[in-house]
Amino acid sequence: MSIVQRTSLHAIPAYKQGATPGAGEQAFKLSSNENPYPPLGSVIAGLSSELGTINQYPNAAAPELVGALTARLGVEPETIALGAGSVEVAGQLIHATTNPGDEVLFAWRSFEAYPILAHVAGATPVMVPLDGHGAHDLPAMAAAITERTALVFICNPNNPTGTVVDTAAVDAFMAQVPARVLVVIDEAYVHFNTDPDSAIGLDFFHRYPNVAVLHTFSKAYGLAGLRIGYAVAPPEVAANLRKTAIPFGVTALAQRAAVLSLEHEDELQVRIDELVAARESLLAELRTAGINATDSQANFIWLSTGDATEAVDAVLRAAGVWARAFPGDGIRISIGSPEANKAIAKTVISALAEAPANA
């Protein structure tokens, strides 16, 4: 006799982590949008004092970190909710706002976890195709809102295309969103966004009562392995996020590393500037070679390779560049070390020549 299982899980795909080269293989892992730099030395040194107390549970309220965030962001403590990475907080948001059968609306293609998290919560994911430039089609998203819509995600910059939504477009969108619907602006890659016209999540949070913002310490701060992110949300929403959060999900090490990172943002900014410069240099080199790479405001680039995606990805891997392929759509390649970025330019040009893409 089989163990009873939740049958709806058969229709839910498991989250697919970025591919990793085999042990000893000479290759660059550029499939997970990881920061290529190690944590700051000051952060590593500051964590040593926490190691002797890992036999104890962390303070779930994280007062030091919440205090640092409120000072940094100009918000009240009751609007902050933490989680084990912004993806876990995204799950909290869905659990906190939807009842079974309610709809979670987002652009597609966007962050792979959105439909998975919606299904797990018993909600219905509603995917609105990106426009012809790989960007959010906000008018189409507004038209897709129904009486069952409870939550909308706007990924800005969008993962995996790197595109952004501008302030005017989001204002026009918010004018069409019912006040009962929570709009979440997911800014996992906000530190790499240099577009002066881009919508800024916190500005919308302060101006609209039904907006929340997602941030993470995984990307720019380089703390992906410690798993820590947070939402800035209306107080009643943030309170419910804390109810749906995994107890003690944010470790004391993660909390301390986040505080130290906030204290040394000037050092981190140097690295961010280097990654942005490397992104722009890579895009310019690809375009000089005649490749139509999408503008990106994140720490990755996007190639719209369409039906040639798997063929192009195979050539890239053979040359030692492990990217993130989305069959039928395109390939996302993270910005890496200077050596990796040189390899990207060379191998992408070669790969597209060997397996012509829809770019």
pLDDT, tens digit, for every residue of 209-234?
Answer: 999 999 999 999 999 999 999 999 99
Identify the band that residue 1 occupies on the pLDDT scale cut at 50, 70 and 90: low
For residue 15, name the pLDDT band (cuts at 50, 70, 90): confident
On whether the CB atoms of residues 120 and 12 are closer than 8 A, the answer is yes
Question: For all residues of the chain together, what is the average pLDDT?
Answer: 94
The CATH fold assigned to 17-39+266-354 is Aspartate Aminotransferase, domain 1 (3.90.1150)
How high is the pLDDT of residue 10? Answer: 74
What confidence category does residue 5 fall into, taking pLDDT thresholds of 50, 70 and 90?
Answer: confident
**What residue spans of 218-323 are helical by DSSP H?**
235-244, 252-263, 265-288, 309-318
Tokens representing residue 117 in the block: 């998290």
CA proximity to 35, closest of 302, 267, 258, 219: 219
pLDDT at 25: 64
Lowest mean pLDDT among 26-30, 64-68, 172-176: 26-30
Tokens of 321: 């560049």
Q: How confident is the model at residue 16 (pLDDT cuts 50, 70, 90)?
A: confident
Closest CA to 280 of 196, 194, 200: 194
The ranges of the chain annotated as CATH 3.40.640.10 are: 41-263
Q: Which residue has the higher pLDDT, 111 or 15?
A: 111
Residue 259 above 80 pLDDT? yes
Query: Which band of pLDDT confidence, cut at 50, 70 and 90, is reported for residue 356?
Result: low
pLDDT tens sequence across 79-127: 999 999 999 999 999 999 999 999 999 999 999 999 999 999 999 999 9
Is 4 a residue whose pLDDT tops 90? no
For 214-253, b/e burial (b = at least 16 CB within 10 A) is bbbbbbbbbbbebbbbbbbbbeebbebbbebbeeebbbbb
pTM: 0.94
What band does 178 get if pLDDT is binned at 50, 70 and 90? very high
Q: 80 has which bridge partners? A: 232
Q: What is the pLDDT of residue 218?
A: 97
* Token output for 350: 């070669």
Q: State yes or no: pLDDT of 11 exceeds 90.
A: no
Q: Is 319 helix (H, G, I), strand (E, B) or coil?
A: coil
Q: Give 184's strand partners.
A: 153, 212
Contact 359, 291 (CB under 8 A): yes
Rounded to 10°, the helix 113-120/86-97 angle is 40
Stretch(es) of the chain classified as CATH 3.90.1150.10: 17-39+266-354
Q: Please give the average per-residue pLDDT across 37-59, as a whole number.
A: 91
Q: What is the pLDDT of residue 292?
A: 87
On whether the CB atoms of residues 86 and 216 are closer than 8 A, the answer is yes
pLDDT > 60? residue 173: yes
- Note if the bond before 109 is cis, omega within 30 degrees: yes
User: Which CATH architecture does the domain made up of 41-263 adopt?
Assistant: 3-Layer(aba) Sandwich (3.40)
Least trusted range by pLDDT, from 33-37, 41-45, 182-186, 223-227? 41-45
Of 25-34, 46-55, 178-187, 307-316, highest mean pLDDT: 178-187
Three-class DSSP category at 42: helix
